[in-house]
Structure 1
Amino acid sequence: MKMNSSKTLFMMMIMISTILSTASNNILMSWMSMEMNLIGFLPMMTKSKKMKDQSMKYLIIQSMASSMFLMSILMNLIIDCPVNESVMMMSSMLIKLGMMPFHLWMPMLMNSMSWMNCFLMMTWQKIIPTVIVSQMTNLKLMILPMLLSMMISPMVALNQLSIKKILAYSSISNIPIMITAMKLSKLIFIYLMVIYSMINFMLMSMMKKMNTMFMNQMMKQNKLNKLMIMMNFLSMSGLPPMMGFYPKWLIIQMTIKFSMLISIAMITSSIISTFIYLKMMLPMLLNSIKIIPNKIKTKTEVISMINMTGIFLPTILKMN
């Protein structure tokens, strides 16, 4: 994405609002930071001609979620009940995150977005709602939406042909893992977000360069490109020894101590995701006949080396 002055301003606004929200201990400050984040992200969406109507849908959905969040704060002040047991607050954050059963808007919007906006939607835009949910919502209330998101999202992605929709459903299935990581440890959450963002950035950069939007367009690519995309997908699903396996392994290891149900759902979700990506990519790898240029070779070697660092991460990173 080429950065002009307006995009730089909006990106700075998004970053500052996220830092303000994570550093603040005031609930109203968190709400204001979410609104700043929304104001910064909307103009970046409207750059594309396809997003004229979709950006309005996004504004309505996010504004409704913010209004519900503010209303839940006021109602809890009047009724004098614990904030972490508010169903309205939890529902507002579920809408913000795009978790099931409030998920339908996310694949629809991401299908019309540019690759860079998809990257921001899947990574940076999830930080503020994840922090708020982990701090202000009881995990018992979140179990049902988390289980639905982890189990049903990969199954729905099985019937999709659009790569952006597949990535959207993959993001929905990864959100409960982010929430669990934030509740367990901030350091594990940072590991997960950094690694997840790297995988998504590598994958979306390749898709943008190859101008690929649907799965049938992958047939035109050479075998090594397909292999690198498959490695990124498998790393996202958490298959060992890929880079995406290590943070999920840490989270599952710590989650087993207090919730066997969530840890089993995480493992099952990863298995289904791996099956989907293998089913999606194996026929394409078998039907490749093109010659591989030297430039592509060097880039794919770098991507494969980054993904395979999952073998060495347990020895490099030490957890307390």
Structure 2
Amino acid sequence: MLKNSYKMLFLIMLFLGTLISICSSSWFSVWMGLEINLLSFIPLMMKTNNLFSSEASLKYFLTQALASSVLLFFIIFFSMMSYNNLFKINAIMNIIFASSFMMKIGMAPFHFWFPIVMEGQNWMNNLLLMTWQKIAPIVLLSYCMNFYFFVISIIISIIIGSINGLNQTSLRKLMAYSSINHLGWMLSGILNNLNIWFIYFLFYCFLSLTIVLIFNNFKIFNLNQIFSFFNFKNLIKTLIFLPFLSLGGLPPFLGFFPKWMIIEYLMKMNYIFLLMILIYFTLITLYFYLRISYSSFLLNYNEMNWNFNYFFNYNNFYLFSILLYLNIFGLFFINLFFFIS
């Protein structure tokens, strides 16, 4: 028996709940799948010896329960209204359903809970929050498309994710606001084509996995830890900050490719104003990534040599090297593939 075999059970139920929501043919089945997903993730968040974790899991549960209750209430309400043919409800239903799904993924203007919950969890739970927990709500968002509501949400998410990340010293909150910013790009992909969103999401999952694995291995949670422990070794600084720059979308790193696709499609659709907002405020996110990297690479800090040996795990060195190689040269291989084909 595994020591934490209950985690495997809840992970299976977590994945199952997401699949039920995506594959459902009725809104009630969608709600049921979201509830299975929620109740499976709460035990994974709980740690009896960590008060911050318990507080974050409670806040996550209350927020998700609020969004689910709003969704269930209006599913029943609109079903009754449409059955009696009282009024046309498509536009109102789309906005309300989209609002509940946006609250579930922590997208602005319903983002108030997301950085707080990220701050109270470990890196692996944060990885689930940033990646897998967004799949079902984003897919369901594509079913209730409302162009003007989506554009407003995209602009607010881009602005909040960029501006609020400037003054953060906690890396978990920094990743939370970065995720809010990327949600704006993902929703822009849904405006054009669901396949574009899927490609962007796959790249975002890969980049988030790279950064989270490094931070989890080194037990980094704040910027001062990076300055204290890793300025002595250039290799460690490279492992940490080049994936950061790739996540920000700096050419020629791999993270620039999905943004490049969305920029191209937005230009073809003549969404020039939305595209300008996306580019300008994403430059702000890239600015604070560059500011952190610049400070770590060029500023000198005194430290002891044993810090490097204590935190660095040589067993993961080859994995980090492969991930770093893909981040740097991934865009080159993608362009080479399209050139050959």
Change (3 A) 1:262 1:76: farther
Deviation digits for residues 106-131 of structure 1 (CA, Å, limit 9, x no counterpart):
10110010100000000110111111
Change (3 A) 1:74 1:317: farther
- 2:54 corresponds to: 52
- 2:252 corresponds to: 241
Residue aligned with 2:204, SS: helix
Q: Which runs of 5+ in 1 are unaligned?
A: none
Tell me how far apart the structure 1 counterparts of residues 336 and 47 of structure 2 sit (CA, whole Å). 44
Answer yes or no: is 1:311 the counterpart of 2:332: yes
Deviation digits for residues 263-303 of structure 1 (CA, Å, limit 9, x no counterpart):
22221232111111011121111135888889476455323
Residue aligned with 1:242, SS: coil
1:76 paired residue among 69, 75, 78: 78
2:292 paired residue among 280, 298, 301: 280
Question: Does structure 2 retain, via aligned residues, the 8 Å contact 1:13–1:40?
Answer: yes
Deviation digits for residues 80-110 of structure 1 (CA, Å, limit 9, x no counterpart):
4333443332321221121222212110110
Answer yes or no: is 1:271 the counterpart of 2:292: no
Cα RMSD over matched residues?
A: 2.4
Tell me how far apart the structure 2 counterparts of residues 30 and 84 of structure 1 sit (CA, whole Å). 19
- 2:157 corresponds to: 149
Question: Does structure 2 retain, via aligned residues, the 8 Å contact 1:149–1:172?
Answer: yes
Residue 227 of structure 1 deviates from its aligned partner by: 2.1
Residue 205 of structure 1 deviates from its aligned partner by: 1.0
1:174 paired residue among 182, 189, 198: 182
Residue 63 of structure 1 deviates from its aligned partner by: 0.6
Residue aligned with 2:164, SS: helix
Tell me how far apart the structure 2 counterparts of residues 26 and 255 of structure 1 sit (CA, whole Å). 32
Tell me how far apart the structure 2 counterparts of residues 270 and 314 of structure 1 sit (CA, whole Å). 23
Q: Which runs of 5+ in 2 are unaligned?
A: none
Percentage of identical aligned residues:
30
Change (3 A) 1:197 1:88: same
Change (3 A) 1:28 1:314: farther
Residue 60 of structure 1 deviates from its aligned partner by: 1.0
State the one-letter code of the partner of 1:63. Answer: A
Change (3 A) 1:317 1:44: farther
- 2:195 corresponds to: 187
Question: Does structure 2 retain, via aligned residues, the 8 Å contact 1:237–1:273?
Answer: yes
Tell me how far apart the structure 2 counterparts of residues 253 and 198 of structure 1 sit (CA, whole Å). 22
User: Please, which moves more after superposition, 177-186 or 228-237?
Assistant: 177-186
State the one-letter code of the partner of 2:219. Answer: N
- 2:147 corresponds to: 139
Residue aligned with 1:312, SS: helix
Residue 186 of structure 1 deviates from its aligned partner by: 3.4
Tell me how far apart the structure 2 counterparts of residues 166 and 73 of structure 1 sit (CA, whole Å). 35
Question: Does structure 2 retain, via aligned residues, the 8 Å contact 1:153–1:170?
Answer: yes
Tell me how far apart the structure 2 counterparts of residues 285 and 53 of structure 1 sit (CA, whole Å). 36
Tell me how far apart the structure 2 counterparts of residues 92 and 264 of structure 1 sit (CA, whole Å). 28
Change (3 A) 1:227 1:70: same
Question: Does structure 1 retain, via aligned residues, the 8 Å contact 2:154–2:188?
Answer: no
Pairs within 5 Å for 1:1-320: 4-47=4-47, 49=50, 50-77=52-79, 78=81, 80-86=87-93, 87-219=95-227, 220-221=229-230, 222-258=233-269, 259-287=271-299, 295=314, 298-308=318-328, 309-316=330-337
TM-score normalised over the length of structure 1: 0.91
Residue aligned with 1:158, SS: coil
Deviation digits for residues 8-35 of structure 1 (CA, Å, limit 9, x no counterpart):
1111111122122222232221111111
State the one-letter code of the partner of 1:65. Answer: A
Change (3 A) 1:284 1:35: same
Tell me how far apart the structure 1 counterparts of residues 205 and 13 of structure 2 sit (CA, whole Å). 19
State the one-letter code of the partner of 1:35. Answer: E
Larger Rg: 2
State the one-letter code of the partner of 1:43. Answer: P
Residue 232 of structure 1 deviates from its aligned partner by: 1.0
